[in-house]
Amino acid sequence: MEIIKSEQAFYEAIAQDKPTVAVFKTTWCKDCHYIEPFMPDVEKAYADKLAFVQIDRDELPDLCEKYNILGIPSFIGFRKGEELARFVSKLRKTREEIEQFLDQVVEAANASAK
């Protein structure tokens, strides 16, 4: 997963034609650490359909405020700079919930490409 360190890098990443999922996390978040063991496998499973980027909420607070990221980890799917779907809540996210969200992003991207 590409780690984003600047707003410019974020906007470049989400501007791609390939749908991009932005994962907002922090180093101190227990629920963020909870998803770490299975996220590499999830990324591999979706590698042909989605790109993934990671943003540390503490490093880019203005960007997170713009996108109303309150609970973490949070996920937002983009294609060509447009938001397709978001999975933002303060609850712990399971692998199944994340995969369901990623399927929604793929479907939304396919619909927007037509």
**Alpha-carbon distances, residue 99 vs 7, 23, 60, 70, 81 (angstroms):** 26, 13, 26, 21, 22
Give tens-digit pLDDT for 1-28.
899 999 999 999 999 999 999 999 999 9
The mean pLDDT of 94-107, rounded to a whole number, is: 95
- Give the pLDDT band (50/70/90) at residue 70: confident
Q: 74 forms bridges with which residues in the sheet?
A: 24
Catalytic residue chosen out of the listed positions 13, 23, 32, 105: 32
Task: Write out the H or E segment, with its range, that includes residue 83.
Answer: strand 82-87
29 is catalytic: yes
φ/ψ bin of 3: left (φ > 0), alpha (ψ from -120 to 50), beta (otherwise):
beta
Confidence of residue 114 (pLDDT cuts 50, 70, 90): low
What pLDDT was estimated at residue 103?
Answer: 96
- Name the active-site residue from 9, 16, 29, 99: 29
